[in-house]
Amino acid sequence: MSSASEFAPADPVWRYGVYLFPIAPLLTLISTAALRFFVVAADREALGAGLVSFAVTVLAGWLSFLFAAVVAVALLMDALALRDRPGWNPNPWLVGALGLVHVAGAELAVAYLFSVPAIGYYVYRRRQRLHGSEGRGRAGTL
């Protein structure tokens, strides 16, 4: 019988969920901008613009939370999938806490000031440790 690790993918697919991390802060910015537009539209008594901006505010806010939750789950699952790798094994507890901070950023945008650079570093380090110099262009070689 062969072990289960033989059938594990070379690079876990959870990384695709981690790569979505910039979307949640961008949706938070869109929600904030739409809320400001809603206030201006309400002052001017523009019903159509007010309704559209309110819908964008609510939709972007919920999507921000949804994408932040997807990133948090993907971060934790990616760290758990990589913990038995010889090249790099991130701490699942620390990565899980980072995912929770990212989810908190959907409601309190200040948390994104910590989570976005930290997840960006996680993605960078993951790429360096697992793939090394593969995929880089080699200048000067034929």
Is residue 139 assigned to a domain? no
Is residue 6 assigned to a domain? no
pTM over cut 0.95 = no
Residue-level pLDDT at 23: 95
User: Residue-wise over 83-106: b if at least 16 C-beta within 10 A, else e?
Assistant: eeeeeeebebeebbbbbbbbbbbb
pLDDT by residue (tens digit) across 12-42? 788 899 999 999 999 999 999 999 999 999 8
Instruction: Report the percent of the chain where pLDDT is more than 70.
Output: 85
The parent domain of residue 30 ranges over: 13-131
Number of domains in the chain: 1
Between 112-131 and 47-82, two packed helices, what is the crossing angle to 10 degrees? 40
Is residue 142 assigned to a domain? no
> Look-up: residue for tokens 């001017």?
44
